[in-house]
């Protein structure tokens, strides 16, 4: 049997997938399972590392069975997973507590303290970004303060995908895209001792794992991993990618100026640049290769809002989100002037604003029906993407825009993105962009392709382009500006909404017109998945 298939593993916030691809990028087998999240304490969103590996191994077996293949057909494995967060090992290489996910908000108070002291701004010229409350370095500082015994027992610092790859290969490592989320110099793209010193984490210098190029070989499948997964022992495994970068590559984006949008648990918006560019509204991290940077603007305020509503309206119905999206799609085919629809701020799980934010409907009247509210939620989701895209456009020219997730495979939703952004947008036929991007790093690692640019060029992927409609662009532009003005007006009141003290709230603060900094406001974060496309 020829070994010419590649497998990509994508461990997301709620679901783990293993997808087998042909060399042309066609899906030939898929395994999928939900991964448990542990939220035993407020603000803690964790994952049992042993459970993660068991679920990943099961999905690989499912994918092989679905494809009718055995491990001898697989030439290489690539891995991606939810980014940021923190997965720790002790000095014996064993899990040191549960893995911490990027939906975790335990370090918010510490993060706010850093912001007040100017620490976050101090890091921007060096790291290209302000750490988030869920960044690995912030979480390490929280563990140092609250769990000192655990802190001093740390042997290795990993991210979610690195733990999965360790289980496959027995090798401890990370890749350049993950390392750049917390520990690397923006300009050299190497580990920075200065970042650790500024944050009081200098003791962690020797705990940082070897940093590899994303397409480098990072080991081979061990005998024990082969027994668990059905893969062949000795199968090469690549270093892999941070999940947002994997999704961009899977959409066919590898060049400076390529912009990728993913509507899922997070509103993910990113554009590749051939030079580092820093600013207020985005983070600048390493791209999939050295000499390439990824400017990224994100917030947990995308299609997870509609899933929340689906659970309320149709509890227990696994197809609820699809049913509701179908309702919205039919309504969106009409002219936007034809019906007055409320406005919705999609801040159920977080927002682009530094202050705690609240999701809100505005302008609701007695004649509005369920579909009006659902349409408002979808439009609010896309407006939030526009806020991030507007910031990213300050980093340079955008040559093309691709979208995935959030129902973007439905023509009316894709057209909505084009009209709200006032940009042509591409939707590719790739259903599992993150898994494909990860798998392609494996193809490069074993020499099936010389680099990711050639790997993407060799894909047989069709794309549908949606052009902005001038009348709809004008209508949505006016609505978007009301959306932003309402958010600015509400900002002074958000924090008081969560103030449970008996005293009267203080006078509203003066609102600045500056573009909001991106911070996770997950004081009530709940694990959510993206809307099926």
Per the CB < 8 A criterion, the answer to whether 421 and 280 are in contact is no
Residue 403's alpha-carbon distances to 172, 264, 267, 430, in angstroms, are 33, 11, 11, 11
d(CA 419, CA 111): 36
Average pLDDT over residues 414-432: 91
What is the phi/psi pair of residue 260, to 5°? -125, 135
Average pLDDT over residues 312-340: 82
Token match 């510490």: residue? 110
Residues of the chain with pLDDT > 90, as a percent, come to 71
Token digits for 185? 């110099």
Position 474 confidence tier, pLDDT thresholds 50, 70, 90: very high
Token digits for 267? 């509103």
Q: By three-state DSSP, how is residue 385 classified?
A: helix
Rg (CA), the chain: 22
What are the residue ranges spanned by the domains of the chain? 5-252+431-441, 297-427+468-492
| Rounded to 5°, angle at Cα 215 from 212 and 219 | 65
Helices (H), strands (E): how many in the chain?
17, 22
- pLDDT of residue 9 exceeding 90, the answer is yes
Which residues in 110-175 belong to E strands, given as ranges? 154-158, 174-175
Give the contacts of 272 (CB within 8 A, at least 6 positions apart).
248, 253, 254, 255, 256, 257, 258, 287, 292, 293, 294, 295
**Which residues are bridge partners to 420 per DSSP?**
none
| CATH number of the domain located at residue range(s) 297-427+468-492 in this protein | 3.30.420.40
pLDDT at 58: 97
pLDDT digits (tens, 9 = 90+) for 476-493: 999 999 999 999 999 988
Position 516 confidence tier, pLDDT thresholds 50, 70, 90: very low
What is the phi/psi pair of residue 75, to 5°? -85, -30
d(CA 260, CA 298): 12
- pLDDT of residue 173 exceeding 90, the answer is yes
CATH superfamily of 5-252+431-441: ATPase, nucleotide binding domain (3.30.420.40)
pLDDT digits (tens, 9 = 90+) for 185-237: 999 999 999 999 999 999 999 999 999 999 999 999 999 999 999 999 999 99
- pLDDT of residue 320 exceeding 90, the answer is no
Residue among 58, 60, 38, 59 nearest 48 (CA): 38
pLDDT at 522: 37
- pLDDT of residue 401 exceeding 80, the answer is yes
What is the phi/psi pair of residue 70, to 5°? -120, 175
Residue among 114, 82, 117 nearest 101 (CA): 82
Token match 């309206």: residue? 313
Average pLDDT over residues 298-321: 87
């Amino acid at each position: 049997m020829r070994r010419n298939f590649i497998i990509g593993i994508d461990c997301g916030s709620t679901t783990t997938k293993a997808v087998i691809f042909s060399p042309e990028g066609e899906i030939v087998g898929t395994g999928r399972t939900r991964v448990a999240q542990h939220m035993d304490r407020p603000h803690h969103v964790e994952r049992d590392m042993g459970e993660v590996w068991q679920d990943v191994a099961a999905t690989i077996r499912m994918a092989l069975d679905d494809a009718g293949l055995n491990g001898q057909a697989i030439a290489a494995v690539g891995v991606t997973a939810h980014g940021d967060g923190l997965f720790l090992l002790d000095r014996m290489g064993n899990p040191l507590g549960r893995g911490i996910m990027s939906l975790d908000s335990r370090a918010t108070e510490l993060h706010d303290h850093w912001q007040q002291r100017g620490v976050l701004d101090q890091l921007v010229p060096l790291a290209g970004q302000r750490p988030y409350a869920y960044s690995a370095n912030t979480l390490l500082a929280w563990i140092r303060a609250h769990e000192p015994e655990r802190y001093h027992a740390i042997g290795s610092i990993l991210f979610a995908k690195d733990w999965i790859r360790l289980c496959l290969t027995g090798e401890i490592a990370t890749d350049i895209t993950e390392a750049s989320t917390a520990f690397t110099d923006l300009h050299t793209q190497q580990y920075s001792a200065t970042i650790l010193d500024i944050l009081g984490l200098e003791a962690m210098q020797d705990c940082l794992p070897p940093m590899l190029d994303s397409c480098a070989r990072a080991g081979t499948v061990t005998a024990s991993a082969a027994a668990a997964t059905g893969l062949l022992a000795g199968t090469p495994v690549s270093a892999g990618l941070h999940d947002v970068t994997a999704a961009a590559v899977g959409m066919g984006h590898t060049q400076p100026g390529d912009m990728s949008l993913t509507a899922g648990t997070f509103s993910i918006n990113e554009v590749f640049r051939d030079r580092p560019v820093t600013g207020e509204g985005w983070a600048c991290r390493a791209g999939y290769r050295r000499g390439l940077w990824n400017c990224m603007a994100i917030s947990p305020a995308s299609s997870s809002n509609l899933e929340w509503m689906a659970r309320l309206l149709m509890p227990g119905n696994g197809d609820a989100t699809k049913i509701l999206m179908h309702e919205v799609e039919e309504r969106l085919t009409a002219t936007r002037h034809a019906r007055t629809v409320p406005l919705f701020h999609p801040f159920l799980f977080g927002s682009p604003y530094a202050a705690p934010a609240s999701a809100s409907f505005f302008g609701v009247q007695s004649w509005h029906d369920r579909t009006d509210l659902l349409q408002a939620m979808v439009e609010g989701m896309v407006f939030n993407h526009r806020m991030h895209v507007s910031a990213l456009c300050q980093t340079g020219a955008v040559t093309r825009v691709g979208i995935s997730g959030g129902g973007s495979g439905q023509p009316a939703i894709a057209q909505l993105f084009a009209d709200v952004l006032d940009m042509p947008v591409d939707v590719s036929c790739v259903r599992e962009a993150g898994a494909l991007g990860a798998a392609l790093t494996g193809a490069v690692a074993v020499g099936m392709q010389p680099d990711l640019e050639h790997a993407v060029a060799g894909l047989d992927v069709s794309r549908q382009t949606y052009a902005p409609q001038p009348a709809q662009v004008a209508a949505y532009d006016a609505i978007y500006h009301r959306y932003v003005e309402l958010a600015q007006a509400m900002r002074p009141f958000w924090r008081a909404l969560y103030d449970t003290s008996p005293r009267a709230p203080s006078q509203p603060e003066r609102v600045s017109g500056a573009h909001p900094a991106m911070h996770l406001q997950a004081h009530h974060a709940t694990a959510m998945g993206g809307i099926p496309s």
